[in-house]
Structure formats: C-alpha cells, structure tokens
C-alpha cells in the first residue's frame, strides 16, 4: 500500500526514525488570533499520508476528533483505491474538530506548518508522491481562507523555510471519511515500519516543540481503582474474581489505557489459574518484556508498548501444541471488544481473525 523501505534490523529503523524527524522546524504563531462565535469548529488539512497527520492532531489538547478522509476531488465518491490512483483530484486529508475555548485555529496551523509535514514539498511527502499527497488546507468559508492565506504570507515573508510554502488553499466541497482500517492507524500499529520511520517522529517533535499543547495517550480519568492499581502500579487482581477470566465470546482484548490491540479470543484458553490466559498476543513483537524478581520469584513481566501498562506475566507452561507459552493477563488491564463491534469501534482490520 505504501512505498516501504525494507529494514535490516533495529539499527536501521532507529536511523531512519531520526532522519524522518529532521524536517520539523519551529515556526511563529500567526500575528492575530482567529476569532469565532459559537462552539465546536473544524478545519480540514492535507499533508501527505493521513496516518501521520491524524496521529499528530490526536495528541493536541483541545482537539476533539481527527478523522482521516479525502477531499478536493471531482469524483462524486472517494475510496482509497480511487484516490491512490492519483486520477480523482482528491487529497488524503484529516478533518480536525476542536474546541476553540481550549485551542485556537492559529495554534492548529502552527503545528501543521511546523511538525506535521513539510509545507514546501510539491505533491509529495516523504516516500509518497502524487497530487493526493499535496500540502493543502480546505476551508469552510472566506474567513478561514483569508486567515490561512495571511498566515502563509507571514511565514514566507519571515523566510522560515528555504523554499516558498507550496500549501494550496481550497474550498471544502465535500469530505469523505476514509475506510475504517485507516482510522487510528498509527495508534493501533506503532511498530509498522512506515509508522516508525515517518510518523512517530512527528508526534515526538510535537511533544518536544509544543509541550503545552501535547496530550498524552494515557487518560487515567476513565480508570477505576483496580485498573489504575494494575496498569500503573504493577498490581495483580484476585483470581476468579475478575471480568474476563471465564469470558468465552469472540473478539479482541485491547489495552484499557490506550486502546491498542493486544490479544484475541482465538488464542485464549482456560488455564485454571483464574486469570485470562492466552497462547500468544495478536502481534508478539509488540509487547514489552521485563524480568521481574519481585515477591521472591523470577518471572517475565509483559507490558503494552504504547501506554506502558502492566499487563501480567508470561510463563512457559502453556499448551505445547501451541508453542508452550501462557500469557497470564489481568482483566483490569484489558477492554474486550466483541467481534460484532469491531467495525463500529474502529478495529475493522481485525475482523479477519475470525474468518
């Protein structure tokens, strides 16, 4: 689906990650604020592959939603297959909906022009080329259009970039939401090479350059006491008195903190321990493993990579015909999503596990 470099190991991944963040620059905020009357506002931004743009704006305080989609074309519909041909005139975009009481349009544009993408590139970002990857702002009205145009003029006059800004300002005629498997892609696939090389550095640059606006993945306000104890304090819940130890529904289990997919019911088995047990994670390489010598024992702890939540431990006494491992996981670290709800919850890419 993308032009992806073939990696030869962790060293090369790290090298390209550092290169991928090199274009991030510091740009001044617009000279004047954008004043609006009323509540929720939105702006549609194009800056290359929408995976990375969405990831950046999902980490901004005051942003309520960041939805990947398509805009700017002549065709009456838009799908990834159509847009990726480069023949429809559409661009990959993200519709950013925000609360102007918490963040203003000027701050959103400042992030867009500094860390989200390189606005001097013409019809390309990173390895992706074509008009569908153009730098663009799709405006809802004349006020937005004039504000964006003035800001671009200020940045060009200040010679912030070596080249003139190539960002187009286009009227928003229609926004087409992208397919479910494109939504939250960076969050759900942090170890995918394209994400690691090209998009994760953008989020890191956001955290470094805009610490006052950066929003962590973790949202502790929704966790109960047991969930906090387990995930944040390396606690253990009681056996046989937890939510999922005897759950037999089809579906996937995600990190209660970040929503990252971790385990599937297809790998779940009854170990007799009183905790949910799995023969393997959905993607084993994603889990963090640490030696744990607490309580006078030597065990292998497992944690989620995105939110660094404590999940439980992995033992070598699992079913031999399925690899011999037993991932003993606390229910309190998980949220179960039934198979029937995967598409609705944004996990449509995992439906294939049950086909």
**pLDDT number for residue 13:** 38
- Rounded mean pLDDT of 299-309? 89
Least Cα distance to 21 among 271, 145, 157, 207 occurs for 207
Give the residues across from 260 on adjacent strands: none
Query: Tens digits of per-residue pLDDT, 246-257?
Result: 999 999 999 999
DSSP string, 249-312: -SEEEEETTT--EEEEGGGEE--SSSS-EESS-SSGGGSEEEEE-GGG--EEEEE-TTT--EEE
Residue 12 has pLDDT above 70, yes or no: no
Q: Residue 336 in contact with residue 244, Cβ under 8 Å?
A: yes
Q: Which residues form the catalytic set?
A: 49, 328
In whole angstroms, what is the distance from residue 41 CA to residue 98 CA? 5
Residue 17 has pLDDT above 50, yes or no: no
Q: H-type helices in the chain, by residue range?
A: 10-20, 50-58, 80-83, 105-111, 142-157, 185-188, 193-194, 200-209, 225-233
In whole angstroms, what is the distance from residue 253 CA to residue 242 CA? 14
What are the structure tokens assigned to 122, written together?
Answer: 């013409």
Least Cα distance to 178 among 60, 63, 50, 74 occurs for 50
Least Cα distance to 347 among 264, 276, 223 occurs for 264
Q: Which domains does the chain have, with CATH numbers?
A: 41-210 (3.30.1060.10), 225-353 (2.170.150.20)
- The overall average pLDDT reported for the chain is 89
In whole angstroms, what is the distance from residue 31 CA to residue 152 CA? 11
- Rounded mean pLDDT of 322-329? 97
Judged by average pLDDT, the poorest of 90-99, 124-133, 337-346 is: 337-346
- Rounded mean pLDDT of 183-203? 87
């Amino acid at each position: 689906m993308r032009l992806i470099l073939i990696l030869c190991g962790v060293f090369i991944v790290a090298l390209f990650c550092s290169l991928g963040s090199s274009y991030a620059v510091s740009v001044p905020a617009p000279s004047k604020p954008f004043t609006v009357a009323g509540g929720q506002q939105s702006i549609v931004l194009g800056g290359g592959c929408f995976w990375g743009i969405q990831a950046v704006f999902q980490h901004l305080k005051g942003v309520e939603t960041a939805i990947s989609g398509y805009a700017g074309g002549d065709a009456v519909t838009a799908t990834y297959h159509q847009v990726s041909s480069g023949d429809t005139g559409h661009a990959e975009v993200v519709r950013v909906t925000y609360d102007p009481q918490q963040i203003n349009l000027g701050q959103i544009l400042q992030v867009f022009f500094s860390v989200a993408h390189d606005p001097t590139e013409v019809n390309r970002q990173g390895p992706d080329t074509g008009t569908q990857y153009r730098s663009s702002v799709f405006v809802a009205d004349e006020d937005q259009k004039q504000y964006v145009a003035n800001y671009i003029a200020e940045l060009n006059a200040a010679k912030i970039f070596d080249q003139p800004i190539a960002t187009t300002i286009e009227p928003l005629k229609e926004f087409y939401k992208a397919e479910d498997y494109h939504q939250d892609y960076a969050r759900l696939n942090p170890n995918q090479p394209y994400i690691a090389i090209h998009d994760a550095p953008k989020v890191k640059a956001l955290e470094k350059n805009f610490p006052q606006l950066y929003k962590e993945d973790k949202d502790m306000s929704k966790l109960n006491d047991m969930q906090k104890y387990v995930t944040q304090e390396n606690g253990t819940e009681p056996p046989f008195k937890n939510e999922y130890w005897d759950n037999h529904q089809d579906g996937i289990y995600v990190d209660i903190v970040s929503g990252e997919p971790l385990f599937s019911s297809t790998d779940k088995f009854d170990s007799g321990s009183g905790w949910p047990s799995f023969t393997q994670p959905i993607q084993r390489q994603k889990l963090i493993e640490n030696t744990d010598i607490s309580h006078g024992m030597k065990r292998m702890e497992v944690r989620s990579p995105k939110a660094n939540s404590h999940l439980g431990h992995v033992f070598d006494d699992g079913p031999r015909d399925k690899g011999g491992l037993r991932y003993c996981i606390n229910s309190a670290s998980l949220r179960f999503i039934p198979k029937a709800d995967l598409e609705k919850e944004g996990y449509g890419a995992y439906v294939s596990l049950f086909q």
